[in-house]
Amino acid sequence: MAVCCCCYPRLLHAQWSPLNPVRTVQQQADGAVFTMGTGTLKIQVCSDSIIRVLYSPTASFPKRTDPVVIKENWPAAKWRMQSTDDTVILSTSLLKLTVTRKDGAIAYAEAGGTPLVQEASRHLTPEKVNGEDAYRAESFLSIYGSHEGLYGLGQHQAGVWNYRGESVDISQDNTNISVPLMLSSKGYGIFWNSMARSRFNNRFPNYLYISSEVADVIDYYFLYGPEFDKIIGSYRELTGEALMFGKWAYGFWQCKNRYRSQEEILSVAKKYRDLHIPVDNIVQDWFWWNRKGEFVFNKNYPDPKSMIDQLHQENFHLMISIWPFFEPGSANYDYMEKNGWFVDKFKYAKPPFHTSGMAVYDATNPEARKYYWDQVNEGLFSIGADAWWMDTTEPETEGQERNILLDHKLAVGSGNRYLNAYPLFDTEAVYQGQRSASDKKRVFILSRSAFAGSQRNAVTAWSGDIVSDWLNFRRQVPAGLNFSLSGGPYWTTDIGGFVVGSPTSPAFRELFIRWFQYGT
């Protein structure tokens, strides 16, 4: 039994890692290209602390639209390359990468030689996905430190702070925000540049297996700190800087599910002022519209501009909930369908919450994004709305375990390939739209989902429709901490939870008080 335990990792390594030797090496200005027994490996030295690794099944590297990484051109970095019969070593002032010729493994170490991690092997397996020729991407890493902690990967609801020994699915859904950035307590990070459904699997603690269901190439960035702040800074250099909000956004918000009329929202605002309680933001949640996809207030709000003006006079800001859904019979539905601006061949079909035939707009289509913002601008921003509660930006999965974009076509390509980036595209519609409409008001977006790069769209994430109990309250602590280590500095949670208990229950009152303490 002891022998089996000792040998199992090696057997596992052999099973997943057939030898793929280096045949030739070509030094380039920004790194080196390795012709392998199968495929081509490129190591790009972006800076002394940022290394990009690409692996292609062919001699070339296909170029696709990348909406996530916005920095492609790097100033020349100082680095050097040394070759021996067994290895090729690439060195910067901070890092030393050793490529083993017999199998193409990459060992990452600090400049002084302290080991960090090793990518032992990588594979691209041909697959047909949604009618498209593609590959399944797999990278197999060896972790050296027995006390090494793994963090980030967005926001997940398993109650886990350190992902060592855990497996995390990278797929958007309500309450789970997926960002493929992992940080190690040893001072490095790995940004896995894929928008497809992926997995970070460390169930065998000495090995990290990263995979994506759809790819042309393996593409990841190795980010060295060693401080976490520097790693996150490098990640933002790749994907965009986090933005500063107006001062009001850092104050107290008043929100409930939901205000039902202009009269109600104004009376609540007045009560706060009468009680001299400082509130900066009041939130209008859903069903202020007639039908989903109409950005016009219903009859319960007879003069919304006057309502917003009165709130502004009392130094309130108004945040309003907007969704990516369009209901049949709504003002914009037929026009968007005629132009092909909905996710192809998908309609919601579970009344009453989702009206049968309701569609979700294709946020990967720039024309659809512009039209979406034009409607938001005309109906809301032009009359003074200050901020946006962008709900169901995953988008909503309608109770399914599968993301609804799987097996559907998007303007940018296969839904299987781009599904995790939907919240990035959706929030971009509003961020860029408002920036083009006015420079007098900073953008603020509260989004139920996020992805790599969302921070550049002025996004604050919240933890979704969580249940109101002590277990879920406890889970928000590691969920928020890991999200903050995924490049997004702004995060929040529904105080008291979303699926609430009885306000007359002493137990729920205690939970609500403790949650309020945490929230502030």
Query: In the chain, how many H helices and how many E strands?
Result: 10, 28
Q: Which residues contact 306 (CB under 8 A, 6 or more apart)?
A: none
Residues 117 and 182: beta-carbon distance below 8 Å: no
Q: What is the distance between the alpha carbons of residues 390 and 375, in angstroms, rounded to a whole number?
A: 14
Per annotation, catalytic residue among 138, 213, 391, 396: 391
Question: 408, 290, 291: which is closest to 358 by C-alpha?
Answer: 291
Residues 392 and 423: beta-carbon distance below 8 Å: no
Peptide bond into 57 cis (omega under 30): no
Per annotation, catalytic residue among 166, 285, 407, 465: 465
Residues 283 and 270: beta-carbon distance below 8 Å: no
What are 88's strand-pairing partners?
A: 83, 99
To the query of whether residue 394 is one of the catalytic residues in this protein, the response is: yes
128-161 as b/e: b if 16+ CB within 10 A? ebbeeebbbbbbbbbbeeeebebbbbbbbbeebe
Q: Which two tokens stand for residue 239?
A: 């994907």
Question: 66, 33, 51: which is closest to 216 by C-alpha?
Answer: 66
Q: What is the distance between the alpha carbons of residues 342 and 80, in angstroms, rounded to a whole number?
A: 50
* Other beta carbons within 10 Å of 378: 12
Q: What DSSP letter does each residue of 353-397 carry, written as one string?
A: TS-TT-EEB-TTSHHHHHHHHHHHHHHTGGGT--EEEE--TTT--
269: phi then psi, degrees, rounded to nearest 5: -60, -45
DSSP strand pairing (281-284 vs 317-322): parallel
To the query of whether residue 169 is one of the catalytic residues in this protein, the response is: no
Helix (H, G, I), strand (E, B) or coil at 435: helix
Strands (DSSP E) along 267-386, which ranges? 281-284, 317-322, 325-326, 359-360
Peptide bond into 226 cis (omega under 30): yes
CA 238 to the chain's CA centroid: 14
Question: 341, 349, 409: which is closest to 375 by C-alpha?
Answer: 341
User: What does each C-alpha distance from 28 to 104, 107, 337, 365 come to in angstroms?
Assistant: 18, 20, 49, 36
Per annotation, catalytic residue among 394, 396, 426, 428: 394
**Active site (catalytic) residues:** 391, 394, 465
